[in-house]
Amino acid sequence: MQQVERQAYSILEFCLSFGIPQSTLYAAWQQGKGPESFRIGRRRLISRQAAQAWIEKNTVRGAA
C-alpha cells in the first residue's frame, strides 16, 4: 500500500505538532493572527503551506 503525505492539519494535529493549546490557536484567530484555514464540511483544516507561512511570519529574528 502506498503511503500518502498529508497536505493539511486538523486543529488538534496542528496544536499537537506545534506544542500549543487549542485555546491559544482560537485566540490567535480571534485577534486575526492565526494561520489561514479552510473548511471541508464541518472540519476546519490548516494547510501545510499556511502553517509554514504562519511560522515564518511569527519567527523572531535575532535581537538587536
Q: What are the tens digits of pLDDT across the range 13-42?
A: 999 999 999 999 999 999 999 999 999 999
Candidates 40, 51, 45, 56; CA nearest to 17 is 51
The CA distance from 38 to 9, in Å, is 10
Contacts of 53 (CB under 8 A, 6+ apart): 35, 36
Q: Is residue 2 part of a domain?
A: no
Q: What's the structural domain count of the chain? A: 1
Domain assignment present for residue 51? The answer is: yes
Residue 33 located in a structural domain: yes
In a domain, 12, yes or no: yes
Checking if the pLDDT of 47 tops 90, the result is yes
- First and final C-alpha spacing in the chain: 51
Residue range(s) defining the domain that contains residue 15 = 8-58
Instruction: Give mean pLDDT, residues 5-14.
Output: 93
Judge whether 64 lies within some domain.
no
